[in-house]
Each structure stands twice: as C-alpha cells, then as structure tokens.
C-alpha cells in the first residue's frame, strides 16, 4: 500500500482533511482510534466509521514483528515480517532513534554489506515504511528516523519521500531528525530540495579514491567522491543541515594515511561531519575491522587537521548489527499470514529459529 492510496480510500469513505490527518496521526504514532479529545463517533462521519475497521485491519496487517533481538547498548534489532512473507530489519537505537528499511534486498552490491547479497527482491511501500515506525513506537518513543536500513532509498525514491512527508508532518518528527542515506544518486539532489519536508542527508563516502569506491560500491551511480561532496555541500547550504559523510572503516583498505590526506582535501571547510564506523563483521566477507586504537588514531588525526569527525561504535554490534545479517539467518523459513495474522501470534520468535547469540 502507498500512503496516497490510503488517503484516497479515506476520502472515498467520506473523510475530510481533518479526519484524514487524525487517522494518519494515530496510525503513525501507534495510538488507538479513541485517542484524543473528541471521540470518533462525535467527529467522524458515519460512512467513515463504517469503513474504518476494514482499513485499520489492513494497516495492522502490513507488518508484524517476527523476532526481537535486544543489544547490550539499549538497541533492539527487529526482524519485521511483511504481509507477503518477506522480511526487513528495523533497529531501535538509543536516544529515541529508529533505523528503517526501504527495500527488501538492495541492488547496489556494496562489498562489505550483507543486504545486497541476493540483489533487490522488491520495494518497500511507503505505508510499509510507516508501519515499521508504528511497530517501533509500540515499544518505545521514536523522535528520530534514519533511512539507513536495508536498501538504497534513492532507488525507491517516491515511496521514501512519501513516508518522509508524513513523518515530518502528522508523524511529528523534526525535519532535521529525518535522515535520508544514499550512496549518491543525482535524482536525490534534484528531488529533495523541491520537497516540503526536506530531510537531513547522509552520504556514503567510504573512500576518497574514485576507483576504490567503484570496487566497494560496484553498482552505485558513477559520481566521484568530489562530485558527491560538491552536491552534498550545495544541499547542506540550502537546508541548513550539515551533511553526514559515512565512512565504514575497513582494515588495510580505507584506514591509511593516504585516506586521511584525501579526507582533508575533500572536506576542509565543508558544512558536514564525518561519521567513522568500524566495520561490523559479516560472515563470508573478506574484510576485517581495524583495531579500536587504530580507529581512534585516525579520528584524532582528522580532528587535528580541522575535520569534524565522530567515531561511532555503531549500535547493535552484539545483535548482528550489520544490515541484512539478521534477515539472512532466518531467510530460509518464510513467515506466512493467515487472515492478517501470523500462524504463531503468541510468540515473537518463530518455533525452530533461535535468536542469534551474542558474538
């Protein structure tokens, strides 16, 4: 389901703008229908009241929590089952953040990521994105949503922007707390400045070397690191939100003195911050994580050269935190729905599947 399709159904059922806004607000906040000052019977037209149970059941059936994997740092990785049996991952982060997925699988094929192993399986609809937020809000408050889960948001642009528009209005998420992450696609820099809700932008840089970047991100659009930073700088100045440049630290690949010089050359004077995230080990991937001391040395060297750098020990390291890892562990067991419910509604963990043990 797309959000605009939901709005159309509500209007056909007799909803006016205020009725529509209330329903979308309650849904995105995971609140019951009778929340608020006015009871539905005194506010909604009778035709809408008659149609609501069916619509609400369909929204509730968009996604279910399949398994929950808590982390020692307060994060929770959720494996979310969609109505067709596909699964995506969401991560509840410390400090009221949520990471959501925009695709089942991914076409970019980043060499250090599990998500793209099987390629792109399908797009996640805008309503399914909001459903991930609603499920998370049933567990704890959510005041920041980052599109850094499974998939490349730029490859599902219409659905992602539709979800961002709802979250930035009735969803009550501050625009700077909506973070659109991308490997770099010219369409992003064309579309986002035109939107009524303009999110903050996270750009996957990972190296300052164009040839190495093509190897690490083999099917990303052909923007060079210089072109990516230039486009990011224009967006940052237009919105007032600093760009978050993402850098997955890979031992012996992008953690050397040459990359420090390249980062200084590219990012000096730019309105942005460099987020350095040590690689999260993935089974069968021939990369390793630099020592924590090496990571600190690199961040310290960049600080001394005037580059605002944050070294992040990414949430969920002990719960298969690398995107796509959790889904890969249970992908062989499909999740089936019957009349909008899972066959095993009493348990979060499907029989026969054990939650991953801490690494």
190 is catalytic: no
Tell me, rounded to whole angstroms, the distance of Cα 316 from its chain centroid. 14
195 is catalytic: no
Rounded CA separation 181/203 (Å): 6
Report whether 240 contacts 247 (CB < 8 A): no
Q: Which member of 89, 128, 162, 259 is catalytic?
A: 89
122-147 as b/e, with b when 16 or more CB fall inside 10 Å? ebbbbbbbbbbbbbbbeeeebebbbb
What distances in angstroms separate CA 12 from CA 26, 91, 93, one per listed residue? 19, 35, 38
Report whether 90 contacts 136 (CB < 8 A): yes
Q: Which member of 106, 110, 295, 323 is catalytic?
A: 323
Please give the angle made by the CA atoms of 269, 312 and 328, to the nearest 5 degrees.
Answer: 125
Which among 357, 326, 338 is positioned nearest to 66, based on CA atoms?
326
As annotated, the active-site residues are: 89, 323
């Amino acid at each position: 389901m797309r959000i605009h399709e939901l709005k159309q159904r509500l209007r056909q059922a007799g909803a006016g703008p205020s009725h529509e806004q209330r329903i979308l607000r309650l849904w995105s906040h995971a609140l019951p229908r009778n929340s608020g000052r006015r009871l539905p019977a005194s506010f909604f037209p009778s035709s809408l009241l008659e149609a609501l149970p069916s619509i609400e059941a369909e929204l509730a059936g968009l996604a279910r929590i399949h398994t929950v994997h808590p982390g020692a740092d307060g994060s929770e990785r959720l494996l979310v089952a969609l109505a067709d049996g596909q699964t995506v991952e969401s991560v509840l982060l410390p400090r009221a953040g949520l990471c959501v997925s925009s695709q089942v699988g991914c076409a970019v094929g980043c060499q250090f990521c599990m998500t793209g192993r099987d390629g792109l399986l399908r797009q996640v609809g805008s309503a399914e994105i909001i459903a991930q937020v609603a499920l998370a809000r049933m567990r704890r408050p959510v005041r920041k949503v980052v599109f850094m889960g499974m998939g490349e948001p730029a490859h599902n642009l219409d659905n992602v922007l539709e979800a961002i528009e709802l979250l930035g209005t009735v969803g009550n998420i501050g625009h700077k707390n909506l973070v659109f992450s991308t490997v770099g696609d010219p369409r992003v820099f064309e579309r986002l400045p035109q939107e009524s809700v303009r999110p903050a932008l996270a750009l996957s840089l990972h190296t300052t070397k164009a040839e190495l970047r093509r190897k690490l991100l083999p099917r990303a659009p052909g923007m060079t690191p210089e072109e990516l930073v230039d486009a990011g700088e224009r967006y940052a100045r237009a919105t007032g939100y600093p760009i978050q440049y993402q850098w997955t630290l890979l031992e012996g690949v992008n953690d050397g003195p040459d990359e420090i010089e390249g980062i200084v050359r590219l990012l000096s004077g730019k309105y942005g911050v460099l987020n350095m995230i040590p690689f999260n080990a993935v089974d069968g991937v021939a990369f390793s994580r630099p020592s924590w001391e090496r990571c600190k040395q690199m961040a310290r060297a960049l600080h001394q050269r005037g580059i605002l750098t944050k070294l992040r020990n990414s949430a969920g390291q002990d719960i298969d935190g690398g995107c796509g890892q959790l889904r890969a562990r249970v992908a062989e067991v499909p999740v089936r729905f019957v009349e909008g419910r899972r066959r095993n509604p009493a348990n979060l963990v499907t029989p026969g599947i054990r939650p991953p043990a801490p690494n």
